[in-house]
Amino acid sequence: MTIKSIIKYSFLFPIFILTISGCEDAIDIDVEPLTEQLVVDAWLTNQVGPQTIKLSMSQPYFDNTLAEGLSGAVVTVTSSSGTVFEFEETENGNYVWTPIANETIGEVGTDYGLQIRVDGQNYGSISTMNRVPSVDSITYEVRGDETFGANGVYAEFFARDPLGVGDTYWVKTFKNGVFLNKPDEISLAFDAGFSEGGQVDGQIFITPIRQSINRIADMDTEDSRDVAPWDVGDEIRVELHAINNDAFYFLTSTQQQITNGNNGIFSEPIINTRGNIFREDGEQVLGMFNVSAVSAMAVVVD
């Protein structure tokens, strides 16, 4: 839960009370015609296993389908140490680099360049694999007096941001191997805190970040607020991805823009999330290229 969402939660409560008679209705709206743009989904890690880059075109907002892949592209990633990684097209716009044995994409401190050639145009981007601290521990406890959620098992992870301002992270949590993928669950850190200028460089991650690995309940499914985030026997896996500052702001914006509609009367104007992928003439296209070093730890609740 970020500061923003804490605040929003605080507001939603009085609003909820005030609007016992108020309501939300689904309606149809007209939007401006869409100009389709290239989308590049290129989040690579130094983890073992194949790495995938997906190419597609943007789609009408209310499409409610998965994006159709863009085929026929040539996709390569080049490292500053001179290695070229060829991404081969598999299916539906997926371009995959498959390592041989335990080979990974590289080491911390390496710069990477992305090159894409599609429909006669060249696109590119660069990213640096940044340092990542280890996940030192994952603890859990049984809570009996939760205000907003169910009583039960809640977890927390510990890691220390290394000295030096400007490290940015994406904390990804997996419950029994399944990624907790709600937009509200996107957990980001700038040094050990929420954002730049937080004066928390080189410290253990602040409490709300440490506790951000607990899943956020659904409103109206069986995965509701009556169910605690974890149960005995669950595997909690926490991955700490060192991401570029660009990617940090990209994900901050992504979360903000996706969840903006939940803020009711306190919503902010919609803005476009800016990535780091450019056509050779300087025109920006959609999406992000980021290469992360990852540290991870898993525990089983007993």
Partner 1 sequence: MTSNLLKKCCWLLLLCGCTISTFAQEKFTLSGYLKDSDTGETLIGASVFIQELGTGTTSNEYGFYSISIPEGTYTIDFTYIGFSTKTETISLTENIKLDIEMGENTEDLMEVVVTSKVEDRNVSDLQMSVNKLDVSTIKKIPSLLGEVEIIRSLQLLPGVSTVGEGATGFNVRGGSIDQNLVLLDEAPVYNSSHLLGFFSVFNPDAVKDVQLYKGGIPSRFGGRLSSILDVRMKEGNNKKLSLSGGIGTIFSRLSLEAPIIKDKASFIVAARRSYIDVLAKPFLTDGLDNSILNFYDITVKTNYNINDKNRVFLSGYLGRDNFGFGDNAGFNWGNKTATVRWNHLFSDKLFSNLTLFYSNYDYQINFGGSSDNSFNWDAKIINYSAKPEFTYYISPTNVLRFGGQGIVYEFEPGNATGVSENGTTDLSLAKQYAIESAVYVENKLTFGKFETNYGFRLSYFNYTGAGNAYEYGDAPAGTRRPVTNITSFNQWESIKTYANLEPRLALKYQINKDKSLKASYMRTAQYIHLVSNTTASTPVDVWTPSTNNIKPQLADQYAIGYFQNLKDNAYEISAETYYKKMDNLLDYIIAPSPELLLNEFLEGDILAGDGRAYGLELMLKKNKGKFTGWLSYTLARTELKVEGINKDEWYPSRFDQTHNLSLTGFYQASKRLSLSANFAYISGAPVTFANGGYYQQGYYIPHNSEETRNNSRIPAYHRADVSATLEGKKNEEHRWKGRWVFSVYNLYNRRNAFSVYQRQDNNRTAIGAPVSTSAYQLSVIGSIVPAIAYNFEF
Site for partner 1 in 9-68 (CB under 8 A): 10-11, 13-15, 17-37, 39, 41, 43, 54, 56, 58-67
Q: How far apart are the first and last CA of the chain?
A: 25
Residues 6+ apart with CB under 8 A from 205: 157, 158, 159, 160, 161, 189, 192
Candidates 103-111, 130-138, 230-238, 258-266; binding stretch for partner 1 (CB under 8 A): 258-266
- Number of residues located near partner 1, criterion CB under 8 A: 102
Count of CB atoms situated within 10 Å of the CB of 92: 14
Question: Which DSSP letter does residue 35 get?
Answer: -
Please say which residue, 232 or 270, places its beta carbon nearer to partner 1.
270
Show contacts with partner 1 in window 161-200 (CB under 8 A).
178-179, 181-183, 186, 192-200
Interface residue with partner 1 among 191, 250, 277, 295 (CB under 8 A) is: 250
Nearer to partner 1, 102 or 221 (CB): 221
Q: Any idea what DSSP says for residue 276?
A: S
Residue 240 CB, nearest approach to partner 1 (Å): 16
CA dist., res. 140 & res. 152, Å (int): 10
Among 272, 281, 282, 302, indicate the residue that binds partner 1 (CB under 8 A): 272
Taking alpha carbons only, the member of 102, 159, 155 closest to residue 295 is 159
CA distance 111 to 149: 43
Neighbours of 216 (CB within 10 A): 16
- Do 40 and 275 touch, CB atoms closer than 8 A? yes
Q: Enumerate the β-bridge partners of residue 240.
A: 171, 295
Least distance to partner 1 from the beta carbon of 82, Å? Answer: 28
Query: Closest CB to partner 1 among 80 and 165?
Result: 165
Residues 199-238 that bind partner 1 (CB under 8 A): 199-200, 203-204, 206-208, 210, 218-221, 223, 225
Comparing CB distances to partner 1, the nearer of 204 and 301 is 204
Checking DSSP bridges between strand 284-300 and strand 38-45, what pairing results, if any?
parallel
Output the smallest distance, CB 295 to partner 1, in A.
Answer: 19
Q: Find, among 44, 46, 45, 65, the residue nearest to 56 by Cα.
A: 65
The structure tokens 């929420």 sit at: 194
Nearer to partner 1 by C-beta: 77 or 180? 180
- Specify the residue, 83 or 202, whose C-beta has the smaller distance to partner 1: 202
Nearer to partner 1, 148 or 233 (CB): 148
Residue list 127-146, contact with partner 1 (CB under 8 A): 145-146
Q: Which of 256, 276, 292, 295 binds partner 1 (CB under 8 A)?
A: 256
- 90 forms part of the interface with partner 1 (CB under 8 A): no
Q: Are 155 and 212 in contact, with CB atoms under 8 Å apart?
A: no
